[in-house]
């Protein structure tokens, strides 16, 4: 009887752990409602001119028509106490940015009060825009932000992201997009690799401690968690089909696993 109670306690502990891991990225974060109009640019912070906003909307709409990829710019006044990484991932998943079949969305988030920004990349574009390249793109944008020129900074970052997506799909956007003086093919990473390495180590250490408490093998617990989280990711990938129209109607059902990069200015 005691053995049965012990096993039951261990299972309950495991379910609690899985539940905590699954809700941590989005718990308590107030995300704006999914837009139905001008979906590719949402300037909640009011830092973009109407001319630039319209231009970004046009470019993102054309990009979606040619690739099904959704490139979205969102500016907010405040992160409300959350990290830019958690906020971006929660917004990306709530809005389902990108095609549900290809998970090819990209979010450029700018938090004005905290002076933080992030590029969040969908599963399907993590090869084209890896963490290092995303960081290098932000490094091209930050100098303009430091000068208070958000129109130019966001236009530059948007253009660099657009160019990488176009390359991935082998399409030509030169008829609608004029390159600026920044090289699109010289995006050497300036990311600090230490934070990228620390997070997996913390996760593995947590699994090790938890496996000891439960009296289970390390790899047994790790495999169980990865299997469950893998099914959760698969669920995120199966959204609705991309809508038609020019920048309206909602997003396509894509998701992100947290790939991308963040910067402060």
What order of strands is seen across the sheet that includes strand 41-43? 41-43, 70-76, 105-111, 116-122, 256-264
Domain presence at residue 5:
no
Domain presence at residue 87:
yes
State the number of CA atoms in the 13 A half-sphere of 109 facing the CB. Answer: 31
* Buried residues in 101-116 as b, exposed as e (16+ CB within 10 A): bbbbbbbbbbbbebeb
Which parts of 161-211 are beta strand (E)?
none
Q: Which residues pair with 37 in a beta bridge?
A: 248
With a CB cutoff of 8 Å and minimum separation 6, the contacts of 65 are none
- For position 89, which CATH number holds? 3.10.310.50
| pLDDT at residue 209, as a whole number | 77
Domain presence at residue 3:
no
CA distances from 111 to 127, 147, 169 (A): 26, 16, 30
Predicted confidence pLDDT, tens digits, the chain (265 residues): 556 656 666 666 666 655 555 444 445 678 989 988 889 999 999 999 999 999 999 999 999 999 999 999 999 999 999 999 999 999 999 999 988 788 899 999 999 999 999 999 998 999 999 999 999 999 999 999 999 999 999 999 999 999 999 999 999 888 776 554 444 334 444 444 455 556 677 777 777 776 777 666 766 766 666 665 554 444 433 333 333 334 454 554 544 556 899 999 9
Domain presence at residue 6:
no
Q: Is 10 helix (H, G, I), strand (E, B) or coil?
A: helix
- Count the domains in the chain: 1
Domain presence at residue 2:
no
Domain that holds residue 162: 11-235+244-265
Question: Do 158 and 56 touch, CB atoms closer than 8 A?
Answer: yes
pTM: 0.65
Domain presence at residue 64:
yes
Domain presence at residue 4:
no
């Amino acid at each position: 009887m005691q053995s049965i109670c012990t096993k039951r306690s261990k299972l309950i502990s495991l379910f609690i752990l899985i539940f905590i891991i699954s809700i941590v990225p989005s718990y308590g974060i107030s995300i704006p409602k999914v837009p139905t109009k001008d979906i590719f640019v949402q300037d909640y912070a009011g830092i973009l001119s109407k001319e630039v906003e319209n231009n970004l909307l046009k470019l993102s709409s054309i990009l979606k028509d040619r690739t099904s990829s959704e490139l979205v710019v969102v500016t907010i006044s405040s992160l409300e106490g959350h990290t830019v990484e958690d906020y971006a991932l929660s917004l990306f998943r709530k809005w389902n940015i990108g095609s549900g079949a290809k998970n090819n969305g990209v979010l450029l988030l700018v938090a004005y009060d905290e002076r933080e920004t992030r590029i969040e990349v969908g599963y399907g574009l993590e090869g084209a825009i890896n963490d290092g390249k995303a960081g290098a793109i932000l490094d091209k944008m930050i100098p303009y932000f430091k000068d208070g020129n958000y129109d130019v900074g966001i236009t530059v970052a948007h253009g660099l992201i657009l160019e990488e997506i176009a390359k991935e799909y082998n399409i030509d956007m030169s008829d609608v997009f004029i390159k600026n003086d920044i090289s699109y093919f010289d995006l050497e990473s300036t990311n600090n690799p230490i934070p990228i390495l620390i997070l997996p180590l913390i996760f593995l250490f947590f699994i090790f401690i938890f496996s000891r408490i439960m009296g289970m093998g390390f790899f047994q617990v790790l495999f169980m968690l990865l299997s469950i989280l893998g099914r959760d990711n698969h669920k995120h990938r199966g959204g609705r089909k991309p809508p038609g129209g020019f920048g309206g109607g909602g997003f396509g059902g894509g998701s992100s696993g947290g790939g991308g990069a963040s910067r402060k200015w």
